[in-house]
Amino acid sequence: MILINQSRLIKYYRINTITRLFSDFRFPDNAPRTADNQSWLEHLENQDKLSENISNAEDYSINAENEDIIDKSLNSRFSYKVISRPPESRYIEIKSPLQNFTSLKYLKSLENDINKNKNRQTGFIDTRIIKCRSGNGGHGAVSFFRDAGRSIGPPDGGDGGDGGSVYIQAVEGIDSLAKLKTTYIAQDGKAGTADQLDGAKGKDMLITVPIGTTVRWCMDPVEVKKFIKEKNLADNKQSIREFTQSHDISLQCVGKLELNNDPFQIQMFRESYKPGKGWIFKGKDEEYHLQQPWFKTLNKRVTTFDVQLRITETNEDRFPLYGIDLSKATTTPICLLKGGNGGLGNMHFLTQMIRNPRFAKEGRNGLEQHFLLELKTIADIGLVGFPNAGKSTILNKISNAKPRIGHWKFTTLVPTIGTVSKGVEETPFTVADIPGIIEGASLNKGMGLDFIKHIQRSKSWVFVLSLESPDPIEDMKTLVYELGGMDKVTTKNILVVCNKADLLENNETSIEKFSKVNEFCKKNNWDCIPISALKNENIDELIQRMAKSIRMKD
Ligand SMILES: Nc1nc2c(ncn2[C@@H]2O[C@H](COP(=O)(O)OP(=O)(O)OP(=O)(O)O)[C@@H](O)[C@H]2O)c(=O)[nH]1
């Protein structure tokens, strides 16, 4: 293959035609010699036992040295059944609910009874499905050197350029997925040309997302919608949620030996030519060539080369089943889809037997896949509570954030993050206010539990109860239930805040309510504090307790 600087040199000579007039001018010659081609093809012949079985292929994982980006939070929620695990191959066929590979938010438009509130979240986009396509490799060229003295010289067709790849990177300074495009297409590689010129490599495509974005492989939403419409509307029995939970999709996965060989990565497949195919013929066609013994011998060897190419692709074209979690700024962009390899130019096929190779190879195709991007804001503390409990008022008092406050329910429609600064000496911490949770939220009532993802990674959860409520303990229990039960809740450091304590003054029932909550918290070993966000009472103490809660157990 020709190095870039050499290609430039060649271009220079082409432009500077006067140079050609000098008889001692030697055109730069980077084409492999007959002997080089011969030994390359013989080397391939010795490897012809190599099968397409990838069991011995080197283990490849997305950025092997950077495995901490694999999203582990999904492990427990992700259900699948292994359908087959042939001993001779590393492919594991699994079946898993469609719900794991699509976004309910995207499919909701099919349902008629959409809660209008949910449609009002236009400014803040935290879920996107994007289509990505890596570039096809350019085709190799069929060309022969010509000059005044020789009507036809040795083959000098250059290789096709590799297709561009699609990368993703999490960066500071973006806080929404709103600006993402729907489609990201990397450029195709250019075809090789005469004079041993390799085609240019296709331009890569880089997707920049906010820190805290998770990326999962998913199905084409248009196809999913069509499938649901056809299947479900006929029966019209299930909601979209139920439908996606009860219908499975099957996938080819690859395991990892050190992980009990459990399915670990989804295998993606390129629609490219099969080994031994993908020839471009100039002059006589494929049928003629396939009858020639010399071509048959050559093709047998080149088939081995194609198989090797395919093994490399197979090892690279994988994506973690649970997705990746870009919780930190990514220093090196992560490759989502690799571009196709460029095809070989005819200069590679000059051997003692073949003096006049009128054929080259096609470039390999790129990949087209969909990915589900979800932004999970990263705040140290998440505020959870019923609507109207006073969460936004608290965030307003303790931090620089200015969330909407109102005496009506669901004032907060999108998560708001505030930074709490306790002075120059101490590290500030962040607090997220999410829309209120109500009974049945886990069944999508009210604003549903869609926003929970924004506090999933928070170390502490602060339950905000209102002493105005008839039964704050019951509220607390409902919140715990809706958030996934005690097992889930106790994975976080918990602080319980009894807000609207100004109502305690001279009010025996309110005092009794607080004592009961306090008692309940003691039993669970949770910290509990009364405050009045409205009257700014006990706010400094609340900030201290919040800071303490993040320092607690990991
Ligand atoms: N008396 C009293 N009222 C309060 C207190 N804190 C908040 N409120 C009032 O309670 C109402 C709701 O407050 P928000 O801060 O919007 O409540 P929220 O929990 O964010 O509500 P959603 O956005 O619906 O989730 C507002 O009218 C506030 O003025 C308090 O300490 N005492």
Q: Which residues contact 251 (CB under 8 A, 6 or more apart)?
A: 93, 94, 95, 96, 266, 267
435 lines ligand 1 (CB under 6 A): yes
- pLDDT above 60 for 391: yes
Q: Which of 9-23, 260-274, 345-359, 478-492 has the lowest mean pLDDT?
A: 9-23
Of 453, 443, 446, nearest in space to 411 by CA? 446
Q: pLDDT at position 11, please?
A: 37
The single-letter code of the amino acid at 5 is N
Parse the chain into domains and list their residue ranges: 1-30, 31-375, 381-551
Percent of the chain predicted with pLDDT > 90: 22
Q: Which of 138-142, 327-331, 410-414, 534-538 has the lowest mean pLDDT?
A: 410-414
Chain center to CA of 329:
15
Q: Which residues contact 59 (CB under 8 A, 6 or more apart)?
A: 256, 257, 315
31-375 and 381-551, same CATH topology: no
- pLDDT above 80 for 380: yes
Confidence of residue 440 (pLDDT cuts 50, 70, 90): low
Give the number of the atom of ligand 1 that is nearest the alpha carbon of residue 413.
Answer: 23
Q: pLDDT at position 24, please?
A: 40
What is the mean predicted confidence (pLDDT) over 353-366? 90
> Which range scores top for mean pLDDT: 6-15, 136-145, 281-290, 419-428?
136-145
Give the number of the atom of ligand 1 that is nearest the alpha carbon of residue 394.
Answer: 15
Superfamily of domain 381-551: P-loop containing nucleotide triphosphate hydrolases (3.40.50.300)
Pocket test for ligand 1, best of 402, 455, 534 (most atoms within 8 A of CB): 534
- pLDDT above 60 for 339: yes
- pLDDT above 50 for 417: yes
Q: pLDDT at position 373, please?
A: 93
Using the mean position of ligand 1's atoms as its centre, give its distance from the Cα of residue 406 in Å: 7
**What radius of gyration, in Å, describes the C-alpha atoms of the chain?**
31
Alpha-carbon gap, residue 319 to 208, rounded angstroms: 18
Q: pLDDT at position 114, please?
A: 38
User: Looking at ligand 1, which residue's alpha carbon is closest to its atom 11?
Assistant: 407
Confidence of residue 367 (pLDDT cuts 50, 70, 90): very high
416 lines ligand 1 (CB under 6 A): no
460 lines ligand 1 (CB under 6 A): no
Q: Which of 54-63, 255-264, 411-420 has the lowest mean pLDDT?
A: 54-63
What is the mean predicted confidence (pLDDT) over 454-459? 81
Confidence of residue 120 (pLDDT cuts 50, 70, 90): very low
- pLDDT above 60 for 91: yes
Q: pLDDT at position 22, please?
A: 36
Using the mean position of ligand 1's atoms as its centre, give its distance from the Cα of residue 468 in Å: 10
Q: Which is more confidently placed, 62 or 480?
A: 480
539 lines ligand 1 (CB under 6 A): no
Q: pLDDT at position 119, please?
A: 40
pLDDT in tens, 198-207: 999 999 999 9
41 lines ligand 1 (CB under 6 A): no
Q: pLDDT at position 52, please?
A: 44
- pLDDT above 80 for 446: no
Of 460, 463, 491, nearest in space to 476 by CA? 463
Alpha-carbon gap, residue 514 to 262, rounded angstroms: 49
Check if the interface score ipTM surpasses 0.85: yes
Beta-strand pair 248-255/91-97: antiparallel
- pLDDT above 70 for 5: no
> Which range scores top for mean pLDDT: 122-131, 427-436, 512-521?
512-521
Alpha-carbon gap, residue 445 to 437, rounded angstroms: 9
Percent of the chain predicted with pLDDT > 70: 76
Rounded to the nearest integer, the mean pLDDT of the chain is 78
For 13-28, b where at least 16 C-beta lie within 10 A, e where not — what string?
beeeeeeeeeeeeeee
Q: pLDDT at position 77, please?
A: 58
How many H-runs (helices) and E-runs (strands) does the chain carry?
13, 21
Using the mean position of ligand 1's atoms as its centre, give its distance from the Cα of residue 284 in Å: 81
Please determine, looking at this structure, whether the domain spanning 31-375 carries the CATH number 3.40.630.10. Answer: no
Using the mean position of ligand 1's atoms as its centre, give its distance from the Cα of residue 201 in Å: 58
What is the mean predicted confidence (pLDDT) over 270-280? 90
pLDDT in tens, 49-60: 544 443 333 343
The single-letter code of the amino acid at 340 is G
pLDDT in tens, 222-241: 888 888 877 766 566 677 77
- pLDDT above 50 for 434: yes
Q: pLDDT at position 126, please?
A: 78
Q: pLDDT at position 166, please?
A: 94
Q: Which is more confidently placed, 270 or 87?
A: 270
Q: Which is more confidently placed, 415 or 349?
A: 349
Q: pLDDT at position 353, please?
A: 81
Q: pLDDT at position 232, please?
A: 67
What is the mean predicted confidence (pLDDT) over 319-342? 89
User: Looking at ligand 1, which residue's alpha carbon is closest to its atom 30?
Assistant: 500
537 lines ligand 1 (CB under 6 A): no
Confidence of residue 129 (pLDDT cuts 50, 70, 90): very high
Q: pLDDT at position 316, please?
A: 87
Confidence of residue 20 (pLDDT cuts 50, 70, 90): very low
**Burial of residue 476 (number of CB atoms within 10 Å: 0-12, 13-18, 19+):** buried
Of 62, 332, 61, 323, nearest in space to 171 by CA? 332
pLDDT in tens, 162-179: 999 999 999 988 878 888
390 lines ligand 1 (CB under 6 A): yes
